[in-house]
Amino acid sequence: MTRRAIYPGSFDPPTIGHLDIIERAAEMYDELIVAIGVNSDKAPYLPLDQRLQALADSTAHLPNVKVKSFSGLLVDFAQQENARIILRGLRAISDYEYELRIGLANRKLNPEIETVFLIAKEEFSFLASSVVREVARHGGNYQQFVPAPVEKLIAKRLADSPGS
């Protein structure tokens, strides 16, 4: 039986913290699907196609990682992909409280799917996509927080829309 896990998120933008979780999870599972959730109620910082490509480029060295997008319920996507594990990264207690509620709801929706938590490395425990967006917006050194393919996308976005 193939151990297939899904690592969902908005990845807007993907960070080196995300990449660390992906690399560590790729060693734990036969297949890992990095799944970008599409929320039509939110205006993304980076378009979906750019996030998909940036994550694909950033994980090209991991042959057992696929990058996909989904809309709707995560448990439905997991079932569609024959994945029984939903992987979530935890940086702080506040992440755990939020993720626990989501994990319990997902278990209620589909008891066959388990949620597994992977703790962020200390050097990434502060890092969130919102931090990267804020640093970039104010002209700070965001490059240290993102993989190279993402760095180029943010630079282009800043050049196309100064101050955003």
Residue 1 confidence (pLDDT):
79
> What is the value of pTM for the model shown?
0.94
Residue of 91, 107, 121, 137 marked catalytic = 91
* Token pair of 1 as six digits: 């039986």
pLDDT digits (tens, 9 = 90+) for 7-52: 999 999 999 999 999 999 999 999 999 999 998 777 899 999 999 9
Rounded Cα distance between 89 and 102, Å, is 13
Question: Residue type for 87, please?
Answer: L
- Angstrom CA distances, 160 to 43, 110, 144, stand at 17, 43, 21
Cα–Cα dist 34/44, whole Å = 17
Catalytic residue status for 42:
yes
CA distance 62 to 38: 24
Does the annotation mark 91 as catalytic?
yes
- Tens of pLDDT, residues 79-89: 999 999 999 99
- Please report the domains of the chain, with CATH numbers, ordered by start residue: 4-127 (3.40.50.620)
| Active-site residue, from 18, 51, 88, 133 | 18
Residues 48-65, mean pLDDT to the nearest whole number: 97
Active site residue 129: yes
Residue from 51, 129, 133, 157 carrying the catalytic annotation: 129
Q: What's the distance, Cα to Cα, between the start and end of the chain in Å?
A: 46
Work out the angle at residue 38's Cα, subtended by the Cα atoms of residues 32 and 40, and round it to the nearest 5 degrees.
Answer: 175
